[in-house]
Structure 1
Amino acid sequence: MQAIKQLGRYLGPYKLFTLIAPLLMVLEVTMDLLQPTIMQHMIDTGIANGDNPYVLKMFVWMLVSSVLGLFGGIGCSYYSSKAAIHFASDVRQSLYEKMMTYSAKERDNFTTGKLITILTSDVESIQRAFMMTLRIFVRGPLLFIGAVIIVFVTARELFSILLIIVPMLIIAMYFFTKYSGVLYRRVQEAIDGVNTKLQENLAGIRVIKAFRRETQQIEQFSKHNDALTKRFITAEQIVGVLIPFTMFVVNLGIVAALWLGAIKVEAGTLQVGVILAFINYLTIILNGLMSSSMVLMQIARAIPSGERIIDVLNKEVTVKEAENALATPIHGAIDFQNVSYRYYETAEDVLKNITFSVKAGQTIGLIGKTGSGKSTLVKLLPRLFDPTSGEIHLDGKPIKSYALSTLREHIGFTSQKALLFSGKIEKNIRVGKENATTKEIQKALDAACATEFVERLDKGIAHELSQGATNLSGGQKQRLALSRALIRQPAILVLDDTTSALDSASEKHVQQAIHEQYQNTTTFIVASKIASIQQADVILVLEDGEIVGQGTHQELLQNNKSYQAIYASQQKAGEQS
C-alpha cells in the first residue's frame, strides 16, 4: 500500500477529474437504485388498481431516471479515463527518465526484460486499477449499501435473507482478493522472464542463426512461456471461481425470496411488487459486490506492480551529480590517480591502481589482450560508471565536480559496438550536435571516411536506417558512429576499437583527418592493432587490468616486453598473410 500511496502524487494535476468522475457515478447509481422502487409502485399501485395515468407517470419517471443515469455513466467513464490515462502516462515518463540515469550496475540489477515489463505491463496494471476504482469502486459499494437500505425500509419481511447471503459473499470476496495478489505477483515475475529471453534472443538473432541454435533457443523460450502459462492459468482459474460461486449464492437467495414471498403473499402480508423489487435489489447487491470484488482483485494485482514501479523510481543511482556542479568549459587535461574498478562488489577488480597523466590535445593509445580493461578505462571518462577507488581529475579538478551534462557535452564517444538508431542518417549524426549545419555534417562524414558510401545511397543523409541499422554493413555503421562523435568538435574524443571494421586505407584517412582537424582534442584510441595507435603521443599497455607499459611506440619497442610480444605477433601475422 505504501507504493500506491507514493504513486498518488502523480494524481495531483488531475484532482478535478478524480472528483468529477465519482460524483457522476453517484448520479448513475442513484438513478439505478430508483428503478426497482418505481417499478414496484407501478405494479402495486398503478397496474393492480387499473390506474393508467399513474402507470404513465411512473413510466416517465423511469425514462427520466434512465437518461440521467446514462449521462452520469458516460461522464464518469470520460473523466475517469482521462485521469487514469494521464496518470499512467506521467508515471511511465518518470520511469523512463529515471532509467536514463541508470548506470550499467542499476540496469544489470533489474535486467532489461524486467525494466520493459515494468514500463509497460506494470504501468498498464495500475492504470486499469485506477480507472476501475474511479468507475466501479464507487458504483459497487453505493449499489450495495443503497440496495440493502432500500430493502430494509421497503421489504423488511425478506431482509433476513440478506443477513445470510451477504456475509457469505463478503467472506468469499475477501479470500479471493487476498489470494489473487499473491498469484498475480508470480505472473508478473514470469512475464519478466519471457521479456528478458525475448529481448536477448532478438538482439542476438544473427548469432543464433549462425550457430544454428534456433531449436535450442525455442526450447528455452518455451520453458519461460510454459511457466507464464501455468501461473496465468492458476491465477485465472482461482479468481474465476468467484463469479460462479457468487451467482450460486444469489440464486439461492432468489429461490428463498420466492418461497418466503409466496407464503407471505398468500397470508396477505406482502404484495407481489415487493417480491419483484426485492429480487431486482438482490441482483443489484450481487452486481455491487461482484464489481467491488473485481476492483479489489485488480487493486491486489496492481499493488505488486506499484511496488516494482517504486523500486525503479527509488533506486539510488551510483553515478550522481555534485551539488553546485561545474559548468565551465573543458580543455582535456586528464589525470588518473590509483584508479581501480570492479563491476560487482564480490568480483575482482578489472582495473587495478591505474595512474597516468595526459595533457590537453594529446593522443593516447590503449592496447592489450582481450579483457585487459581497455574499454572499461575509457568508459570512466564520461562517467558511464565511477571508479571503485581512486580519483580522476579533469583540467585539475575532480571529474565528479563537473555537471554530467557539461562533462558529456565535451566528450565524443564511440563504443566497441556501433549503435545507431532507426531513422535518417542525418538524424543519427545530429545526436552528436543537434543544431549542426549541413556543412558540419558533411565535414564529419568526410573525416570519418563515410561520404563515399552515403552518397551512393538513394537519399544520401536522408536514407532511412532500420532498427539497429541492420541495412548497413559493420564498417558503414562504425563510420557513421564516428561521424556522430566528430561532429561535436569535442574536447575529449574516445574511439573504442572504432576502426576495427575499416580497411587500412580508410583507417589511415580517419587517423589523418583527426590529426589535422582535431589537434586540440584529447584523443583516446582503444585498438587491437599497433598500427592504429603507432603515432599516439602516449601508448598505455594493459594486462589483467594493470598498466604494464607506458610511452611512445619507439620507447615501448625498446624496453617493454609485453608491447614487443604484441608487435612481434602482429608482424609475423602480417608476413604470413
Structure 2
Amino acid sequence: MRAAWKLSKYLKPYKHFAILAPILMVLEVVMDLIQPTIIQKIIDEGIAANDTPHIIAMFAAMMACAIIGWLGGAGCSYFSSKAAVNFASDVREDLYETITYFSNTNKDRFTLGKLITNLTNDIEMLQRALNMLLKIFVRGPLMFVGAVIVVFITARELFSVLFFVVPVLIICLYLFIKLSISLFRKVQEAIDQINIRVQENLAGIRVIKAFNCMRHQVEQFAGINQALTMRNMTAEQVIAALMPITQFVVNAGIVLALALGGIKVEAGVMEVGVIVAFINYLMMIMNGLMSSSNVLIQIARAIPSAERVVVVLEELPEITNADQPVKKEIRGDVKFENVSFSYNKHVEPVLKNISFEAKAGSTVGIIGMTGSGKSTLMKLLARLMDVDEGTIYIDGIPIRQYDLETLRGAMAFAPQKAALFSTTIEENLKYGKMDATKEEIREALAASDAYEFVEKLDKKEQHVLTQGATNLSGGQKQRLAMSRALIRKPKILVLDDTTSAVDSITEKMIQSNMKKALKGSTKFIVASKISSIKDADLILVLEDGRLVAQGTHEELLKTSVHYQEIMASQAEKGGVLNE
C-alpha cells in the first residue's frame, strides 16, 4: 500500500478524469440493474396478462436503459483510459529522469536489465491496473451490491440462496488473489533476467560470434526463458482455475434457486418472472465478483511492479550538489591531493594516495599498464564518482563544492569506447554544445580529422548512425567522439585513449589541431602509447593504482624506471618515437 500511496501523486493532475470515469460507470450499472426487473414485469404483468401495450412500453424502457448504459460505459472507458495513460506517462518520465541522474554505483545496484523492465513492463502493469480499477472495479462491487439489494427487495423468498453462494465466492477470491501476488512477483523477477541476458548478448554480439558461442548463448537463454515460462504457466494456471470454481458455485446456486422457486411457485406464493429475474441477478452477482476478482488479480500483478518502481524513484543519487554549490566560472587549475578510490569498499583501492597539480592551459599525459587506474582517475575529475579519501581541487576549490552543471559544463570528455547515439552526426555533436552552429560543427569535425570522411557520406552531417554506431569504423567513432568534446571548447578536456583506433599520422594531426583550437584549456590525455603524450607539460605514470612517477618526457627518461620499461616495451613492439 505504501507504494500505491507514493505513486498516487501522479494521478492528481488527472483527478477529474479519474472522478468522471466511475460516475459514468455508476450510470451503466444502474441501467444494467434495472433491466432484469423490467424483464420480470414483461413476463408477470405483460405476457401473463396478455397486455401488449404494457409489453411494448417495457420493451421501450429496456432499450432506453440499454442506450443510456452504453453511453455511460463508453464515457467511462474514455476517461479512465485518459487518466491511466497520462498517469503511466508521467511515472515513466520521472523514472527515466531519476535513472538518468544515477551514478554508476546506483545503476550497478539495480542492473540495466531490471531498469529496462521498470521502464517498460512494470509501467505497463501499472497503467493496466489503474485503467481496470477505474472501470471494472467500480462496476464489479456496484453490480454485486446492487444485485444483492434488488434481490432482497424483489425476491426475498430466494434470498437465502445467497447465503451459500456469496461467502464461498468471496473465500475463493481471497485465496486466489493472495497466491497470485507472490507468483507474479516471481514472474517479474524472471522478466528481469530475460532483459539482462538480452541486453548483454546484443551488446556483445560480435564477441559471441568471434568465439563461435552462438549455440552456447542460445542454450543459456533457453534456460532462462524456460524459467520464465514455468513461472508464467504456474501463475496463469492458478488464475485459470478461478473461473471454473466460481462457475460451479453459481450453477449450484441456480439449481438451488430453481428447486426452491419451483416449490414456491407450486405453492402459489411466487411468480415465474421472479425466478427468471433472480437467476439474472445471481449471474450479475457472479459477474460482479468475477470482474472485481480480475481487477484484484491485475492489482496483485501490479503491486510488485509498483514496489519495484518506487524503490528506483526513492533511490538517492550518490553524486549530489552541496547545499550552497559554487557556480563561478572555471579557469582550469587542477590539483589532486592524496586521492584514493575503490569500486568495492571491501577490497583494495584501485587508486592509492594520488597527488599532482596541473596549471590551467597545460597538457597532462597519463600512462600506465592496463588496470593501473588511468580511466578511473579521469572519472573522478568529472565527478562521475566521488573519492573515498583525499580531495580534488579545481581553481583551489574542492570539487564537491561545485555545482554539478557548472563543473561538467566546463569539461568535455571523450571516452575510449565512443558512446554515440542512434541519431544524426550533427545531433551527436550537439551533445557537446546544444546551440552549435553549422560552422562550429564543421570546425570541430576538422579539428578531429573527421571532416574528410563525413563529407563523403551521402547526407554528410545528417547521416544517421545505427545503434552503437555500427555503420562506422572504430577510428571514425573515436574521431566523432573527439569532435563532440572539442565543439564545447571546454576549460578542461579529457581524452581517454581516444586515438587508440587511429593511425599515428592522423593522431599527430589531431594533436596539432587540438593545440590550436584549445590554447587555454587544461588537457588530460590518457594514452597507452608514449608517442601520444611525449610533448605533454606533465606526464603521470601509474602502476597498480599508485602514481609512481611524474614529470616531462625528458625528465622521466632519466629518473623513472617504470617509464623506461614502458618505452622499452613499446620500442620492442615497433613503437618508435619521433624525437
Per the shorter chain, which TM-score range?
Answer: over 0.9
Alignment map for 1:6-405 (pairs within 5 Å): 6-405=6-405
Sequence identity, in percent?
A: 59
State the one-letter code of the partner of 1:340: S
- What is the CA distance between 1:348 and its match in structure 2? 2.0
Q: Is the 8 A contact 2:449 2:510 kept in 1?
A: yes
CA distance in 2, matches of 1:246, 1:260: 21
- What is the CA distance between 1:424 and its match in structure 2? 1.1
State the one-letter code of the partner of 2:19: L
Secondary structure of 2:550's counterpart equals strand
CA distance in 2, matches of 1:462, 1:310: 40
State the one-letter code of the partner of 2:273: G
Secondary structure of 1:390's counterpart equals strand
State the one-letter code of the partner of 2:144: F
- What is the CA distance between 1:460 and its match in structure 2? 1.0
CA distance in 1, matches of 2:159, 2:389: 75
CA distance in 1, matches of 2:348, 2:482: 32
CA distance in 1, matches of 2:257, 2:575: 100
Q: Deviations over 1:281-332 (max 9, x none)?
A: 0000010000001111111111111110010000121101112222221111
State the match for 2:432 in structure 1.
432
State the one-letter code of the partner of 2:136: I
CA distance in 1, matches of 2:256, 2:346: 68
Secondary structure of 1:574's counterpart equals coil
CA distance in 1, matches of 2:14, 2:347: 47
CA distance in 2, matches of 1:544, 1:368: 9
The runs of 5 or more residues in structure 1 that have no matched partner are: none
State the one-letter code of the partner of 2:53: P
CA distance in 1, matches of 2:258, 2:411: 82
Secondary structure of 2:548's counterpart equals strand
The runs of 5 or more residues in structure 2 that have no matched partner are: none
Query: Is 1:567–2:543 an aligned residue pair?
Result: no
CA distance in 2, matches of 1:393, 1:534: 25
CA distance in 1, matches of 2:566, 2:382: 29
TM-score by length of 1: 0.99
Segments of 4+ moved more than 3 angstroms: none
CA distance in 2, matches of 1:421, 1:43: 71
- What is the CA distance between 1:576 and its match in structure 2? 9.8
Superposed CA RMSD in Å reads: 1.1
State the one-letter code of the partner of 1:113: G
- What is the CA distance between 1:575 and its match in structure 2? 7.1
CA distance in 2, matches of 1:569, 1:56: 103
State the match for 2:552 in structure 1.
552
CA distance in 2, matches of 1:193, 1:153: 55
Q: Is the 8 A contact 2:570 2:576 kept in 1?
A: no
CA distance in 2, matches of 1:359, 1:205: 43
- What is the CA distance between 1:62 and its match in structure 2? 0.6
CA distance in 2, matches of 1:52, 1:502: 94
- What is the CA distance between 1:347 and its match in structure 2? 2.7
State the one-letter code of the partner of 2:235: A
Q: Is the 8 A contact 2:176 2:242 kept in 1?
A: yes
CA distance in 2, matches of 1:227, 1:411: 46
CA distance in 2, matches of 1:150, 1:43: 18
CA distance in 2, matches of 1:12, 1:347: 47
State the one-letter code of the partner of 2:138: V
